[in-house]
Amino acid sequence: MSSPATIDVIVTHVVNVNSLIKRFHFARLDGQPLPAFSGGAHIIVEMQDGENRRRTPYSLMSSPLDTDDYQISVRRDDQGRGGSLYMHQQVKTGMQMRIGYPTNLFSLDKRAPKHLMFAGGIGITPFLAQIKQLIATNGNFELHYSVRNQELGAYINELAQTIGNRLHTYYDDKEQRIAFDTLLSTQPAGTHVYVCGPTPMIEHVLKRTAALGWPKVHVHYEHFAKALPGEPFTVQLQASNKTVEVGENESMLEAMEAAGVDAPYLCRGGACGQCETNVIEHNGTLLHEDHWLDENERVSGKKIMPCVSRFCGTQLVLDR
Amino acid sequence: MSQPDDSAILSRPRYGTLSPIEASFHLFCADDEGGQAIVELAQDVPANFFDSAEIIYVNSQPALNSKTLAALEQLNCPRMYTGPTIHAALPRLSTSISRMRMNSQIYISGSESMLGLATMTAMQANIDHQALQTEHRGSLARRVQCVHCKGITEQVTTQPASCEHCGLLLLVRDHYSRRAAAFQGVNINAEDPSEIPAKEEVFT
């Protein structure tokens, strides 16, 4: 089969972290241990929201040493397609859900003598798991965590207690900013840098590391694109011989799955490349939202990532 | 004897052409003809590029390298080291890397042994091998690790080659160990040691 296997889980706790963020705990329905994972891994959470089956990636934030309890934190997005609202409003303790196996597209380079971490807002979650792993292995790290204000600074107190002065916190409402250039100019040989947060923060770190002369292979980022809502459109799947309507609040990949097409995927956030699909023909505009295809591939109009990208036009034929 | 087809061996290092990349510090390490790669790169760099650079140059054949050495000296690098052998230069390279900040670029040029040993040294200082720029110039002589006794023989130019440690006759493969900075040599006449293929000079 082309899609990853799934695990039946039960929601063991739902915790209000702050006014925007809830934390969800999962245990295996059959009582067995969950699969081991490494810090930075994410899982896909399946949500049966009425007619719609959504599958959304969330970083695991719990300890990679604990295979009895997976934890994710979900920030409510009132403008999204409804995945986070579903998690916030529908998911309750005791509910049965289905998740995918953990996949890591943001792993630590364990050879590094030092890990320099930049987190923005909810982007803290993969670092929480990585830090637990690094504490257990006596790793050397430094976390720079930027948040809007004290109330929305999720897990700051917990981090302050466990990592002490390795935590550096920056509050937007106090005009505190991470001094990226200073930090990026003073790191000892072998350091790896990691960034997860809002798009402008990730892009800034990628731009500054390149301009200052950092080798690309020492720079890591977790960047899930969001499948955004959009105008409905129709897609013809030539290999499956099906025509699928993609609704306003579903992704092309979700629409294919709803039609019974077993399309490949891994991250569902335009980052991993698994769902890359050939475009046979189209007469409109491919609305690329992924971080996978390069500029040439986008211009060619021959490839699309159905997990996050959409289409505007009357005819789109895919090799799927 | 004919060369085995090792073209599909993924571990065989591939080298490129040095090109200047924006960075706060540039560390160059080269041997013999490799110095010329630095001289050529220097023809197309921003002014003051070599003000924040260091050159480590192994000059094992001073009579042949006098022009290259003079051209390197004209770059007026604040730090320049010249030494007689690769092995003498490696501790210097190691120290320079460990003093370096991450907003730096490393450029290696020269013989197969220089490229391999400098890459190994950078990796030991926790720099990913893909972070290095490399360019081959000069000798193709290989460091060869005997897979049987694990001994490493330097400056191997023939196929097959004798292991200096255990004496076995080795087929020198493209199969490469970055950790040991050595190509792997496998006994060529294990079934019938009396069969001794002629040695040919191939890695020159």
Domain boundary among B103, B136, B169: B136
Within 13 Å of residue B117, how many CA atoms lie on the same side as its CB? 26
Domain that holds residue B29: 25-136
- Interface touch A213/B97, C-beta < 8 Å: no
List the pLDDT tens digit at each of the 320 positions of chain A: 445 689 999 999 999 999 999 999 999 999 999 999 999 999 999 999 888 888 889 999 999 999 999 999 999 998 888 889 999 999 999 999 999 999 999 999 999 999 999 999 999 999 999 999 999 999 999 999 999 999 999 999 999 999 999 999 999 999 999 999 999 999 999 999 999 999 999 999 999 999 999 999 999 998 877 788 899 999 999 999 999 999 988 899 999 999 999 999 988 888 889 999 999 999 999 999 998 999 999 999 999 999 999 999 999 999 99
Q: Which residue of B has its CA nearest to A208?
A: B103
Domain count, chain A: 3
Per residue in A159-200, pLDDT (tens digit) is 999 999 999 999 999 999 999 999 999 999 999 999 999 999
Q: Say whether residue A185 is in contact with chain B using an 8 A CB cutoff.
A: yes
Same domain flag for A149 and A129: yes
Same domain flag for A157 and A192: yes
| CATH number (domain holding residue A256) | 3.10.20.30
Q: What is the ipTM of this complex?
A: 0.89
Domain that holds residue A169: 115-222
Q: Which residue of A has its CA nearest to B126?
A: A190
Domain boundary among B101, B136, B171: B136
Check residue A1 and give its pLDDT. Answer: 40
Q: Which of B94, B97, B103 is the mutation pick for testing A, counting most A CBs within 10 A? A: B103
Of residues B22, B99, B127, nearest to A213 (C-beta): B22
Same domain flag for B128 and B177: no
Check residue A318 and give its pLDDT. Answer: 95
Q: From residue A193, how far is each of A153, A197, A217 by CA, in Å? A: 22, 13, 10
Per residue in A4-35, pLDDT (tens digit) is 689 999 999 999 999 999 999 999 999 999 99
Report the distance separating Cα A103 and Cα A141, nearest Å.
23
| CATH number (domain holding residue B101) | 3.40.50.80
Check residue B4 and give its pLDDT. Answer: 56
Q: Which residue of A has its CA nearest to B94?
A: A189
Chains A, B: CB pairs < 8 Å: 65
Of residues A113, A213, A216, nearest to B103 (C-beta): A213
Taking a C-beta distance cutoff of 8 angstroms, is the pair B58, B83 a contact?
Answer: yes
Domain count, chain B: 2
Same domain flag for A121 and A207: yes
Same domain flag for B123 and B152: no
CA distance A124 to chain B (A): 24
Chain B residues within an 8 Å CB radius of A107: none
Q: State residue A200 phi and psi, 5-degree precision.
A: -60, -35
CA distance B134 to chain A (A): 14
Domain boundary among A75, A104, A133: A104
Domain boundary among B83, B113, B136: B136
Classify residue B112: in a domain, yes or no.
yes
Same domain flag for B29 and B129: yes
Q: Say whether residue A187 is in contact with chain B using an 8 A CB cutoff.
A: yes
**Cα dihedral A81→A84→A88→A91 (10° resolution):** 90
Taking a C-beta distance cutoff of 8 angstroms, is the pair A2, A263 a contact?
Answer: yes
| CATH number (domain holding residue A141) | 3.40.50.80
> Average pLDDT by consecutive 10-residue portion of chain B (204 residues)?
65 95 96 98 95 98 96 97 97 97 97 98 97 97 98 98 97 97 97 95 95
CA distance B68 to chain A (A): 27
Q: Say whether residue B180 is in contact with chain A using an 8 A CB cutoff.
A: no
Same domain flag for A93 and A136: no
Q: Which residue of B has its CA nearest to A211?
A: B22
With CA atoms as reference, report the closest residue to B111 among B26, B19, B37.
B37
Taking a C-beta distance cutoff of 8 angstroms, is the pair A287, A301 a contact?
Answer: no
Report the distance separating Cα A134 and Cα A64, nearest Å.
10
Q: Which residue of B has its CA nearest to A110?
A: B126
Of residues A113, A187, A213, nearest to B21 (C-beta): A213
Same domain flag for A124 and A64: no
Chain B residues within an 8 Å CB radius of A186: 101
CA distance A75 to chain B (A): 34
Same domain flag for B36 and B94: yes
Q: Say whether residue A205 is in contact with chain B using an 8 A CB cutoff.
A: no
Tell me the DSSP string of B76-125: --SEEEEES-HHHHHHHHHHHHHH-BSSEEEEEEESHHHHHHHHHHHHHT
Classify residue A228: in a domain, yes or no.
no
